[in-house]
A and B are shown apart, each in its own frame.
Chain A
């Protein structure tokens, strides 16, 4: 059994101040119980406005984000894309609106399977061309809708249906890629990480992304726990987000015009077991196995730290048209 956590008292934040627009989704939607996507999807248009055009792929988001026949769970403009070409679809929309002089905020909303795996080529291409839209990857670390298979962001040791633990396997025997940093290396106007335990941080980053897309490509990497796929208690979703931040499993940072900056500094990060204990996908790991995962996180944090130390010296030169 997964552990249950007593809700702690948390300080009130100003997050409600950021919710200036209506929630365009109907009251009940068809996500799994405890899914972090519902909060994220309701949050985005309340911060950015209901006049966004949102694109989505066949994925966990699809049952709610994409309509079925002529019915929909929300009142947003949306565009159902293929996983292979999501960023290229968003490119086509944004470029046509630009040509036609139509104000627009295109939000290309995809899981890690699309962003990190099958659709990474066109994500990278759109970033290289500095296309004027916001790309949000909700990272639930695998193909959760398809039945919990491994992706490029699935962490070391995690059990999935294509990386089951066995006599000769620890689960996923490979380390995860760092999608956020990979995107920051495209020298785009804005790249950031966020999650649902830090909503004010998320809201600020959404607004920065909207402002940045006037200059080009904006990328948000959002950590999005999946109770169904990870084997966690439905009420623990936000706590998992919180522990991911506090263990440095998923550090919160942003890169504005190339300047990398931590938006939340974790002074004394807790050991990774504090995070992994909340879900079944790591339950088979020994303390030694967890060391490998810890080493991987330490490496990523070290790299991030190095980049953020350089912040004062490093800034992207402004592009020619500014």
Chain B
């Protein structure tokens, strides 16, 4: 028995992976390609079950590898279909040539990527390195914090990807293990409401699709002017997707009663002196620690990145200007830079932050846990920076060994 709430939805206790599968089911895709990988596997198992029971009327392609998964859904999308696939880590890397081609072809594919370390060391552990390693693919990247947000974001992703003014593939990221396997209550929308939300796309001009007998090609060789024209159009559509995502968030709220703020979510930011910038499941933990710190009189806030590509620089600058200090929490590394990747990117906008100081935290990689204690430490270090104390630019919160001075010595391994 499911508990019916006053809203037009059903409450179910499900995992992040199940939320992704149900979100995909509600969007009624025509073609789904499935290949397993930990910690994503439950997504395609759920979809296979929906397909087997007749609940999901799609062509299910059980491919022989992730590369084929992306190639199959790209082609089905360009033929005119709504599509879905899911991957993680090495799987995302194995499909990467097709990930790039999908973006270049402006195929509005929607997929979820269950974040997992992709470090070159064989491991099955959490981290956002897969998202970072593929961030310049030309896809829109969204990042979810909770099981509810995974479901909502998958549905929103279709509105964004398939919008006539956008036509860019969207990847919804959520943390492996800490969110993929987390069971919590999720309001599952009714099918007719999702149909209504997505029906806006039907009223738009039809996108160009490849049908038999048409004198039409996709995947032409781009040469000089033609190539440049397509690249520039892609960049322009990428920029448009920022405001579009904000608008979609508002419309979603009108129908489903849940708003997340669009590109970024602000948590207790109004009067915050110090801010942590984060993304994904860590944000839930950070919020609860901020509440505790506020009770102690510490004015801390959270700026959660929901849209990572395009980089929401305007929204970030608007929220983060005039703060005393900002700590950026990265669950990944940027090789060639000491600080984390999101920190490094935000650094490019430092001059617009009107004096807000920036600091980098590395935490949660290699399955290490971003604990409440770690969050308290990060807030404290950011407060130290605000008060003018000498603090290191980069702190490996999950690996204190890295913070000792001798760790920077030359030589050895």
**Residues of A in contact with B (beta carbons under 8 Å apart):** 50-53, 62, 66-70, 72, 75-82, 84-93, 95-100, 102-106, 121-122, 124-126, 128-129
Interface string of B98-110 (1 = CB under 8 A from A): 1001000000000
- Determine whether B140 belongs to the interface, using a CB cutoff of 8 Å to chain A: no
- Find out whether the CB atom of B221 lies under 8 angstroms from the CB atom of A66: yes
Contacts A88-B63, A92-B76 given: A66-B217 contact, CB under 8 Å? yes
B78 touches which one: A69, A79, A102 (CB < 8 A)?
A79
Which residues of B lie under 8 Å from residue A102 when comparing CB positions? 211-212
- Determine whether B58 belongs to the interface, using a CB cutoff of 8 Å to chain A: yes
- Please list the 3 inter-chain residue pairs (A to B) with the smallest Cβ-Cβ separation, ordered nearest first: A80-B219, A69-B226, A85-B71
User: Can you name 19 A-B pairs with beta carbons within 8 Å?
Assistant: A66-B217, A68-B223, A68-B226, A70-B226, A81-B71, A81-B75, A84-B67, A85-B68, A85-B71, A88-B68, A88-B71, A89-B75, A92-B31, A92-B72, A98-B59, A121-B64, A121-B68, A122-B71, A126-B68
Which residues of A lie under 8 Å from residue B220 when comparing CB positions? 66-70, 72, 80
- Find out whether the CB atom of A77 lies under 8 angstroms from the CB atom of B214: yes
Which residues of B lie under 8 Å from residue A79 when comparing CB positions? 75, 78, 210, 217-219
- Determine whether B388 belongs to the interface, using a CB cutoff of 8 Å to chain A: no
- Determine whether B62 belongs to the interface, using a CB cutoff of 8 Å to chain A: yes
Shortest CB–CB separation between residue A85 and chain B, in angstroms? 3
- Determine whether B165 belongs to the interface, using a CB cutoff of 8 Å to chain A: no
Shortest CB–CB separation between residue B63 and chain A, in angstroms? 6
- The interface centre, meaning the residue of B67, B73, B79 with most chain A CB atoms within 10 A of its CB, is B79
- Find out whether the CB atom of B221 lies under 8 angstroms from the CB atom of A99: no
Shortest CB–CB separation between residue A120 and chain B, in angstroms? 11
A129 touches which one: B61, B217, B218, B219 (CB < 8 A)?
B61
Which residues of A lie under 8 Å from residue B216 when comparing CB positions? 77
- Find out whether the CB atom of B31 lies under 8 angstroms from the CB atom of A77: no
- Determine whether B30 belongs to the interface, using a CB cutoff of 8 Å to chain A: yes
Contacts A51-B213, A125-B68 given: A95-B76 contact, CB under 8 Å? yes
- Find out whether the CB atom of A69 lies under 8 angstroms from the CB atom of B67: no
Measured between alpha carbons, how far is A93 from B64 in the docked complex, in Å? 17
Contacts A84-B98, A91-B68, A100-B81 given: A69-B212 contact, CB under 8 Å? no
- The interface centre, meaning the residue of B64, B212, B222 with most chain A CB atoms within 10 A of its CB, is B212
Shortest CB–CB separation between residue B192 and chain A, in angstroms? 22
- Find out whether the CB atom of B212 lies under 8 angstroms from the CB atom of A125: no
Which residues of B lie under 8 Å from residue A77 when comparing CB positions? 210-217
Shortest CB–CB separation between residue A127 and chain B, in angstroms? 10
- Find out whether the CB atom of A125 lies under 8 angstroms from the CB atom of B30: no
A99 touches which one: B58, B217, B223, B227 (CB < 8 A)?
B58
